[in-house]
Amino acid sequence: MPRSASSTTRGNKIVKLRHSLISVVCTATLLLMKSAAAHHSTAMFQWGTEKTLIGTIEKYQWTQPHTFIWIVVPDKPGKTQEWGLEGMSPSWLGRRGWNLHSLNPGDKVSVVYYPLKDGRQGGFYVRVMAPDGKTLEALPTQAP
Amino acid sequence: MRRTSSSIANLTWVCAVALIACGAQSSSRKGLSWIASSAAAADAAPSNPYASLAKLPDWNGVWDVTRVPPQPGAPPPAPPKLTPRYEEQWVKYQALNRKQKGLNFVSEVASCIPPGVPQSMTEPYPIEFLFTPGRVTILIETYALTRRIYTDGSPLPKNPDPSYQGTSVGHWEGETLVVETSGILPETSPLNGINGHSDKLHITERIHLINPDTLEISTTRTDSAVFLEPYTTKAYYKRHRDWKIMEYVCEQNNHDALDAKGNAAFSLKHNPGE
């Protein structure tokens, strides 16, 4: 999907525009050299578009290369949906106050995430409001 | 006769004992002189190769690449000048960056194939340096990679077997470590936005402290198949003395492997063993 997005016509236009946009592009490239997601493109997410899920933690995986929140949210009456939200690695989160037990099965939480573009029940988690009212940030704050 | 032979036997014994005694004395003297001479050598010679490390700069702790260089007012670097094939990749990548937020660079790294030098040096998790005589070792947390940089004066081999982290030698210019690397696998990325290069890719890194807790790594890429002229970028690293490098096993729970067409993907299947 992201690859096909740049058609030849668009590519030619970009070549023409390139010189005037060069410094903007370079700055962007530098900023993006260290992306939030360690090892892969974030093209599958609506990166920067915040959505919220309120539900019950089914499982919190403190794993490499990414932590994972599996959360059950209410759906139609009597039914639930399972969502899978990827997050930063245990090493990154562990250096910023998170740990293996930050989230536990049964916790009722509110999770802010960037959704998948294809509409499936998944995304990348940005912050979690835990039952004790504490907010855990899970992504770097905006670069200065 | 019997007396005579008995006297000879006695004499033989006396001589044997005397010879043994002389030998013992002689070897004892030799032993003493050996101890004395090695003590003298220890006083004169550079005894322990680790002593030479005391001259090197203090790079202890763990280094985390910063999101922006520490000089916000500095002009942005010039873009790379690329051969047509790679220019096409670069333009597509920049177009995506303008169109959507986040990282849009798609590579096999998402499927847990590790990055090569130099991309392995700017992953979002930290690195550390170990100094031993004749060698600097860089440990990279992401993908648990190790770079061995020989600083013992050996030359860079002419045709090293290709590998992800390549083959490296280094030398110190004052407090700057200069690292030369070649033999990097051609399917790796030399720069975000560019997949692949020739087997001639050569990387020169100049690593030094620009203030007590900031390390600068200036990285120059040379490969005429990709770059029309050598291309240099700079990355900055912040020191964290209290951090420790952690284990990183990419295959543990990866949901981001590329799809069959090589595009970015995301699996919502629970991995086996969960």
Task: Write b or e for each residue in B211-248: b if 16 or more Cβ atoms lie within 10 A of its Cβ, otherwise e.
Answer: eeeebbbebebbbeebbeeebebebbbebeeebeebeb
Contacts of B194 in chain A (CB under 8 A): none
- From the list B170, B259, B184, the residue with the least C-alpha distance to B223 is B184
Question: pLDDT band at B44, cuts 50/70/90?
Answer: low
> Does B162 score more than 50 pLDDT?
yes
> Does B130 score more than 80 pLDDT?
yes
Give the pLDDT mean for B251-264. Answer: 88
Q: What is the pLDDT of residue A14?
A: 42
Tokens of A68: 């994972």
- From the list B113, B241, B242, the residue with the least C-alpha distance to B188 is B113
Q: What is the pLDDT of residue B106?
A: 79
pLDDT tens-digit profile of B188-226?
999 989 999 999 999 999 999 999 999 999 999 999 999
**A48: closest chain B residue by CA:** B101
Please answer yes or no on whether B106 and A43 come within 8 Å at the CB atom. yes
Please answer yes or no on whether A30 and B274 come within 8 Å at the CB atom. no
Task: Tell me the longest C-alpha to C-alpha distance in chain A.
Answer: 58
Percent of chain B exceeding pLDDT 90 equals 63
Range with top average pLDDT, A101-110, B32-41, B103-112 = A101-110
Contacts of B72 in chain A (CB under 8 A): 144
Question: In CATH, what number does A51-137 get?
Answer: 2.40.50
> Does A123 score more than 80 pLDDT?
yes
Question: pLDDT band at B43, cuts 50/70/90?
Answer: low
> How far away is chain A from the Cα of B169, in angstroms, using its nearest Cα?
26
**A140: closest chain B residue by CA:** B67
CB A30 within 8 A of CB A36: no
> Which of the two residues, B13 and B223, has the higher pLDDT score?
B223
pLDDT tens-digit profile of A9-50?
444 444 444 443 443 333 334 433 444 455 678 888 999 999
> Which of the two residues, B160 and B25, has the higher pLDDT score?
B160
Q: From the centroid of its chain, how far is CA B260?
A: 34
Q: Where do we find the tokens 């340096």?
A: B129
Domain positions in chain A: 1-33, 51-137
Give the pLDDT mean for A47-62. Answer: 96
- From the list B56, B64, B115, B110, the residue with the least C-alpha distance to B245 is B64
Nearest to A44 among B72, B143, B264 (CB): B264
Contacts of B235 in chain A (CB under 8 A): 33
Nearest to B268 among A6, A61, A120 (CB): A120
Q: Which of A91, A121, A126 is the best mutation test for B, with the most CBs of B within 10 A?
A: A91
Percent of chain A exceeding pLDDT 90 equals 59
Fold of B55-252: Lipocalin (2.40.128)
Burial of A55 (0-12, 13-18, 19+ CB in 10 A): buried
> How far away is chain A from the Cα of B35, in angstroms, using its nearest Cα?
53
